[in-house]
Amino acid sequence: MTDGQRKKVASSFIAWRFFLVSIVIAAVFVALASRAAYIQILEPDMAIDENNKRTLRVEALHAQRGMIFDRHGKELAVSVPVVSVYADPKALEKSLQQKVLKLAKKQGENIDALQKNSTELAKRSAEIYHNDPRWRELAEVLQSPQNEINDRLRDDLSRRYVYLKRQITPAVANYIDNLNLPGIHLLDESKRYYPAGEVSAHVVGFTNIDGEGIEGIENLFDKALTGADGRRTVRKDAQGREIEVLDERERIEPENITLSIDQRIQGIAYKALKSAVLSFKATSGSAMVVDVKTGEILAMVNSPSFNPNNLADSAPHKRRNRAVTDLFEPGSTVKPLSVLAGLEYGSIAIDEVIDTHPGWMRVGGRLVTDPRNNKEMTLREILKKSSNMGVAKIVQTLPKDYLVRFFQKAGFGEDTGTNMVGESSGLYRPDRRWSDFEIATLSYGYAVSVSTAQLARVYATLGSGGISRPLTILKQEDPMPGERIMQEHNVKAVVQMMESVFEQGGTAPNVKVDGYRVAGKTGTSIKAVAGGYGDEYVGYFAGVGPVSDPRLAVVVMVNEPGGDVYYGGAVSGPAFAEIMSGALRMLNVAPDLETFATLDSESNDG
């Protein structure tokens, strides 16, 4: 290159331009480096959050509610898959506005001006919504009024979550999914189903629509049946592929509950009780079957009942588990206890003869009477004829405190041990001052109120030979721990005396228990009302069987039977016989009587 060319190149170089470009480039790099440093060092959380919004996904691992079984593994409560439909009104409105703007753009309108005119934008969004037939289809398939759906979707556009319908079938959910409606989502859930229906409704209970236990076992063991959901946090790429598992928390599986209930016996008891309540036009009834050797409840039924799969017709009075909540004076069913108290104290002997002449006596200024003058009676005859005079004279030989404590020791005034929802401990106050007349009435089942469950526990104690055990609604591997509260030979003697109830001249001669020797006792009490007693009755029948080796205690209570027939032997006796004989056969208990325990004669009052 010549000197002239070098001078020409040098003269064409402009220094300030070079420096300006260099400064601009340097400034750009400094700005980028500063921004990178700001994002990564000073404020990294914002970038991380934005990245997480695009890539992080949290998947719920749902724990389905545990199952409830009877003692043989028969399902009493199961969870079935269902789907719920919910809406995001805010997302729906955003989708409608986008459609409005898209149509306006096609028609050459000023989009910016339309976006600023919120009134016009809302008006056009509503028009698109109402002109879309898919929303009418949604209302029809959900079987909901169109205006109700419109209110939920359009009244408050700031909401992000509102249910449209809970627990729909998968087929309906699939139809809604195919409608492809904006802002409408499906949520997998489960619904509780009760295969036994009304037969075991009061024991099993039910859940609400959110799966929370409300009554019965569902409520009592709600926490154990629920478990806990798990959670899985993963990172996904733009194609939705899982690339990293960041966190995984295992779900806590719920427990399954196995009840002591034998659904076969439960069905027998419910059928017999329902028939008794309907036949005698009674207000209600309860029945229980208890295994005397273990304390397990094999059946607990009430009538009227309800369908836990459809609560639309289940009034509150139908849902009440009357076997543990409702209290009545037990009447003559406690007379075996009064006889036992005398034997345990030693004031009478097994072969004792009690003079009940003239069939009445005055105690504390008030009368104790029998329907007729039975004169001298053995203990067996006292129970056979259900003599008030007989048991009242027996307890006169006892200290008051002894009798009161004896009844308390038998289980009156305390919970039975089931822990069932709403269980009552009865009305019995042993520490109060008792008059002579109250002690007399206590001997034949007044001045104390008990539940069907409490009476069943007392008779289970008789069946076990004097061992008192708490009752349980759960299946047990070993018998419930018990305490001997009565001498075995005295209990066995009284149990054998109770067989006479089924004989001619007894209070239940027409009750038929095929193939088994059964010890029973009828009971009829007048219902207390404010200020005294009314004109309604409660009929009881309680007993144990078979007498040769007792296995079951059965109690049947019929409340307020209509008509002229109201004695316990007549209204509750047939149900007792059906339940006892059917349950013993279900348990394969060998018959201990070759002939039927049936004698044709008129039933006496109990």
Calculate the CA 484 to chain-centre distance: 32
Helix, strand or coil for residue 190?
strand
Amino acid at 517: R
Dihedral over Cα of 409, 405, 429, 523: its sign:
positive
CA distance 169 to 374: 69
CA distance 63 to 448: 47
DSSP β-bridge partners for residue 519: 544
Residue 145 region by backbone torsions, left for phi larger than 0, else alpha for psi between -120 and 50, else beta: beta
Question: How many helices (DSSP H) and strands (DSSP E) are in the chain?
Answer: 24, 21
Q: What is the 3-state secondary structure (H, E, C) of 79-143?
A: EEEEEEEEECHHHHHHHHHHHHHHHHHHCCCCHHHHHHCHHHHHHHHHHHHHHCCHHHHHHHHCC
Helix, strand or coil for residue 4?
helix
CB contact set of 509 (below 8 Å; sequence gap of 6+): 502, 503, 598, 599, 600, 601, 602, 603
Structure tokens at 15: 């220094």
Catalytic residue from among 332, 443, 451, 500? 332
CA distance 145 to 152: 11
Question: Phi/psi of residue 74, each to 5°?
Answer: -80, 130
Structure tokens at 19: 């420096």
CA distance 573 to 280: 12
Contact 384, 503 (CB under 8 A): yes
CA distance 483 to 58: 55
Q: Identify whether 603 is a catalytic site residue.
A: no
Contact 444, 391 (CB under 8 A): yes
CA distance 103 to 113: 14
Structure tokens at 194: 């009760």
**Which residues form the catalytic set?**
332
